[in-house]
Amino acid sequence: MLFSSISFLYYFLPCVLTIYFITPTKYKNSILLLSSLLFYFYGEPIYILVMLGAIVSAYIHGILIQKYPKYNKIFLLSSISISLIALSLFKYSDFFIESINDILNTNMKPLNLVLPIGISFYTFQILSYVIDVYKGNVKAQKSLINLATYIALFPQLIAGPIVRYIDIEKELTKRKHSYKTFSEGISRFCIGISKKVLIANALGELCQYFLQTNNKSVIFYWIYGVAFSLQIYFDFSAYSDMAIGLGKIFGFHFLENFNYPYISKSITEFWRRWHISLGAWFKDYVYIPLGGNRVSKKKLVRNILIVWMLTGLWHGANWTFVLWGVLFGILLIIEKLFLKQLLEKIPKLFQHIYVLWVIIISFIIFNANSVKEAIVQIIGLFGGNGEPIINQETLYYLKNYFVILIIAGFGATPFLKNIMTKLKEKIKIKKIINVLQPVILASLLLLVTAYLVDSSYNPFLYFRF
């Protein structure tokens, strides 16, 4: 069930909110858990057993790690192994089999297992929980219902952000509900769903037209690169907005996951602003345990490459994702060693151009079905495939999507946010904005509803992760 669907907006969510807020406090987690399981069952009726098994495993291992400190490392390794084996089986088994077939010229049959929705996200949440219990950062959760609520919580279950147990431990048992947080949550959710339906979906259509046409041009390759880079940002950041908004409605405060990454002046800065929860997870649970940057240059290079190869693989079982991750790893190494100091000496405009150029190339690799396809598309950016610089089809799509590209471009920067902040500094204008805001949000929700009813194109890119 997508957040950006009629069934969620007008059936599931209103019913859950009604039942949740009339339920006594001590039963609210039970209602959230049942709602989350129903939400997951709607999309994954069979694989809900995999998630339930993962929850029970995390619960048992957490208690054992805390109760038997003499053997806690054994229990930690057991929990990590179970989680990673399940993730590898469903997500990477066919990738490894096909790679072995290609390398050794064997003929092993793929398992063709369907990837459980959200398994990458809830697996990482479980791993962070048992590791933090092992380190003594948190106490093991004694209530299975509370732990299951944390892992299965539907606002962030299928596509994050990756919420760590330590960040919402207190709110699982003692959280406050208020009109202010409820209204802030509704506002954030409405903004998120508007970004998803009105901008990301439109950009996705443009990308689909490019991929399907045989009448490409050099300009069209660049339009596609820009459009997809904006689409994946609006698609994923919109989902994070909706998740954070829903979290606030239910009394949880999830950490921010995006901070205008396209205004970055280096790739290092970009990854501090993009998918913040994933970057922080790899930093705390992989990079630092490997030694971080307090090691020799040789080991530093090793640590960064390991983290970014894993980051690429986390996103998907394809060599394009591995290449994508390694590309960023190499760039981050180069920046850390010397490039970042050089970038700081040139005008900011050229720093931004460098980042955006790298991002466009990287996301073309990210979205390709194969490395060969990615190479063809990158060569196309520079006219290497023999296509014309521009043609009538390119002009047609540019004309039809020019406005949405401009809106998306401005929307990916804090330009509008900064204007609103300055306007709110004036008391009279702030009062007007406060009156108009509910009207604007309601209008956006009506427009979103109209689009959802009228259009069948409503994908979500991060479902495959």
**194-219 burial string, b = 16+ CB within 10 Å, else e?**
bbbbbbbbbbbbbbebbeeeeebbbb
Give me the DSSP letters along 420-449.
HHHHTTSHHHHHHHHHHHHHHHHHHHHHHH
CA distance readout (Å), 441 to 22, 194, 314, 331, 431: 26, 9, 35, 41, 16
For residues 222 and 389, what is the distance between their CA atoms, to the nearest angstrom?
A: 11
141: DSSP letter? P
Number of Cβ atoms within 10 Å of the Cβ of 105: 7
DSSP of 358-373: HHHHHHHHHH-SSHHH
Q: How many other C-beta atoms can be found within 10 angstroms of the C-beta atom of residue 322?
A: 21
Active site residue 177: no
Own/partner contacts of 356-363, CB < 8 Å, gap of 24 or more, are 356/229, 356/262, 358/267, 358/331, 359/229, 359/262, 359/270, 360/222, 360/225, 360/226, 360/229, 361/225, 362/324, 362/327, 362/328, 363/225, 363/228, 363/229, 363/232
Find the catalytic residue in 61, 177, 253, 315.
315
Q: Which of 23, 25, 395 is nearest to 174 (CA)?
A: 25
Contact of 127 with 82, CB cutoff 8 Å: no
> The tokens of 293 are what?
């940057």
Residues with catalytic function = 315
